[in-house]
């Protein structure tokens, strides 16, 4: 490569970087889902994906992408419960008490 041409390419790259063409992409904001449930052994699913027990999610919220999520809560001996949530960026806490199945 000729020295003048290499200098021209270098100057073009510097101009592109300073104009914003090569900037880092902005950080994606995350939603953090905290679940406080009765019973504490309640299992939590987003879509069909298991994300943890309520006991764990009460202490350590799950990082999820923002937007609409379908959340299911299940526990043995209790009716399951479904929620449609629109998770914003930041913290969201769900408090839920499942209904026991009668004997």
Q: Is 77 exposed, middle or buried (0-12, 13-18, 19+ CB in 10 A)?
A: exposed
User: Predicted confidence band at 9 (pLDDT cuts at 50, 70, 90)?
Assistant: low
CATH superfamily of the domain spanning 30-97: Carboxypeptidase-like, regulatory domain (2.60.40.1120)
Integer CA distances (angstroms), 72 to 42, 83, 99, in order:
10, 6, 14
User: Predicted confidence band at 13 (pLDDT cuts at 50, 70, 90)?
Assistant: low
The torsion angle over the Cα atoms of residues 32, 35, 36 and 41, rounded to 10 degrees, is -140
pLDDT of 62 > 90? The answer is yes
The pLDDT tens digits for 32-55 are 999 999 999 999 999 999 999 999
User: Predicted confidence band at 81 (pLDDT cuts at 50, 70, 90)?
Assistant: very high
């Amino acid at each position: 490569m000729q020295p003048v041409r290499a200098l021209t390419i270098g100057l073009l790259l510097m101009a592109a970087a300073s104009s914003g063409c090569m900037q880092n992409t902005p950080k994606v904001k995350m939603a953090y889902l905290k679940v406080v449930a009765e019973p504490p052994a309640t299992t939590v699913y987003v879509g069909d994906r298991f994300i943890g027990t309520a006991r764990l999610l009460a202490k350590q919220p799950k990082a999820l992408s923002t937007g609409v999520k379908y959340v299911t809560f299940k526990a043995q001996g209790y009716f399951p419960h479904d929620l449609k949530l629109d998770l914003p960026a930041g913290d969201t806490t769900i408090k839920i008490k499942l209904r026991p199945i009668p004997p």
